[in-house]
Structure 1
Amino acid sequence: MSHKQALIIYNPLSGKRKKHSAFPILLNKLSEIGYHLTVNEINEVNNMNNPIRKACTQKWDAIFIAGGDGTVNQTIQFLAEEEFRPNIGVFPFGTSNEFAKFMRVPNNIIDVVSVIESGCITPVDLGKFGNRYFINIAAAGWLADITYETPPFLKSKFGELAYCLYFFKKLLFKKPSDNISINISDTVFSDLSLFLIMNGNSVGPLERLIDEKICDDGYFHLLTYKKTTRIKLLFHLFAKLLNLSKDLSIIQHTKINEADFMLPESISLNLDGELASVNSSYFQVLPQHLNVFGSNKNN
């Protein structure tokens, strides 16, 4: 069997600890289907000694990511800048695994290996916000900080339920955000309390938030929420999520491939569930920038 060269970026601290018992099985299964593996933990990836750049420069066959959405996001910060980008495989070891769900990657490790062995590859658009990249979701404003402010010990113990617990805490004690504005083709959306930029059509356990899906057409979804009272905003949010209302006075949806965002200094940016610091507020889509094992097409 001819061997293919692959890098594994592994985060041993992601998600629930019991998931990580499958990591040795993962290594064996990938070896069995012909991959010669180099393993690096995510904390070993830095600008001085970067295995991701090495894999790209030497044109390795694949980069596998064993972790959650934060691990995926950290990996693509380096990968996105390279001219040659190996195929990406994601093993969902994290708490929520939003990108793995988006790519319809199975939870079972052996099933994921089967997807990789089949060679099913999907081109995926990448989002860029300032000097930072994201592959699934960007958000800012009211309640957008839940994913990175939820304590790690809660995520390790309760999984996705930890986000629900922290959601209600934020709901009770955090007021809607300061004004956010967005300039899209000289049209300004102002007095916003929250925005979501999504590569797909779901957020967390809430599937089909938007009827159509996007992954490789050069556009992302944008949902904006007008600033209003906490109770009214929450009511319209859940009405939208449950498809109970077509009222667009507070919640609006459009598709974008670039835009300028004006964010008050008090508001932080969430990229793929992680707190991000950017050098500008300009957003753009990089069409079909990555090739990923899996398929997010409706079958």
Structure 2
Amino acid sequence: MSTMDKQALMIYNSFSGKKSAHKAFPILLKKLEEIGYQLTIHQTKELTSIGNPIKKACQDRWDAIFIAGGDGTINQTLQFLAEEPFRPTVGVFPFGTSNEFAQYLGMSGNVFQALSVIENGFTKPIDIGKFGNHYFANIAAAGWLSDITYKTSRSLKSSLGEWAYVLYFLKTFLLTKQSDTISIDVSPNKVISNLSLFLIMNGNSVGPFESLIKNSTHNDGYFHLLTCKKTNRLQLLFSLLAKKFNLTKNSSIINHTKIKSGCFILPETIALNLDGEKAQVKSLQFEVLPQHLQVFSLG
């Protein structure tokens, strides 16, 4: 298709990930135009509540919203997009450091693979999460070690990529104390307490820990909840490695359940991490929004 008959918004974060990856951006724009998209480009710094381009694209019922950036850029876009009654199909181009959401969609860090998916028009609906008044696409976390993604310096991420997270993880793991305890009310009859860390995941992986959840199903109205009991460093490290390499089926430290809603009790000293970004929320009530987004996806 050569005629420009499809309207699309491009949200671009020129500061995300490794600088070298951004050389592909002009090629990306040219290819999208060849596919048939008439693009309106906005930088992430332009995403304010006044005159927001995402809201305009939704209200004018544009065909697509493309996001060229990392998980933080996706999360920033989602805060405006998820509120709208009409939401254009979302296409993600992985320019970030870890690109967790792109991997969840089956596009592991490859911009040109994403282009191929969009050209072929492969789409599917996906679930997203809501925590208080904020939305997230892939991961919500709080507690010890959960601040690594937003405390790792931008310059380190730009030069080292995902290795920057590994270095900060090791530093935090070895030199910091575990946080105050967290409790989660997951049903009227079930409370999980004495936790140092929790992860809510749309998919089954986070960072270097791939396939943490075996036989995972997606978009079934449930997210995965991984909880970590407060324990010493060595026990936690062994449990993480055992989980990663499937060495033991039962762990008294790290546990998994599936949830579609829950109420979280966090001490004031603990911040919430949504898609790798620090978030301030009005309440700690979590819920899954089933099939809330239509996305270009390989899987």
Could you state the TM-score of these two structures normalised by the residue count of structure 1? 0.97
| Cα drift, residue 108 of structure 1 | 3.5
- 1:204 correspondence with 2:207: yes
> For residues 9 and 96 of structure 1, do their structure 2 counterparts lie closer, same or farther at Cα, with a shift above 3 Å needed?
same
Partner of 2:237: 234
Output aligned runs, 1:5-24, within 5 Å.
5-24=7-26
Shift in Å, 1:46:
0.4
Partner amino acid for 1:147? T
Which structure 1 residue ranges, 5 or more long, are not aligned?
none
CA contact (8 A) 1:106 1:112 kept: no
Return the match for 2:69 from 67, 70, 78.
67
Instruction: Within 5 Å, give how 1:168-179 maps onto structure 2.
Output: 168-179=170-181
- Number of the residue aligned with 1:284: 287
Where structure 2 has 5 or more consecutive residues not aligned to the other structure, the ranges are none
CA gap 1:213/1:247 in 2 versus in 1, 3 angstroms: closer
Verify the 8 A CA contact 2:4 2:38 in the aligned structure 1.
Answer: no
Count of residues in correspondence between the two structures: 296
Indicate the percent of aligned positions where both proteins have the same amino acid. Answer: 62
One-letter amino acid of the counterpart of residue 272, structure 1: D
Q: Tell me the distance in 2 between the aligned counterparts of 1:223 and 1:242.
A: 16
Could you tell me how far apart the structure 2 residues matched to 1:201 and 1:190 are? Answer: 23
Deviation by residue 1:224-265 (Cα, 9 ceiling, x = unmatched):
111112221222122112211223311111100000000011
- Over aligned residues, Cα RMSD in angstroms? 1.1
2:183 touches 2:194 (CA, 8 Å); kept in 1? yes
Partner deviation per Cα, 1:125-152 (whole Å, 9 max, x = no partner): 0100000000100011110110110000
1:193 matched residue in structure 2? 196
TM-score normalised to structure 2 length: 0.97
Report how far residue 85 of structure 1 moved: 0.1
Amino acid at match of 1:140: A
Describe the superposition over 1:7-58 as per-residue Cα deviations: whole angstroms up to 9, x where unpaired: 0000000001111111110110000010000000000110012000000000
Q: Which runs of 4+ in 1 moved over 3 A?
A: none
Deviates more, 1:49-58 or 1:287-296: 287-296
* Paired residue type of 2:81: L
Instruction: Identify the residue that residue 154 of structure 2 maps to in structure 1.
Output: 152
Contact 2:66/2:93 (<8 A) preserved = yes
Matched, 1:266 2:281: no
* Larger displacement relative to structure 2 (106-115 or 225-234): 106-115
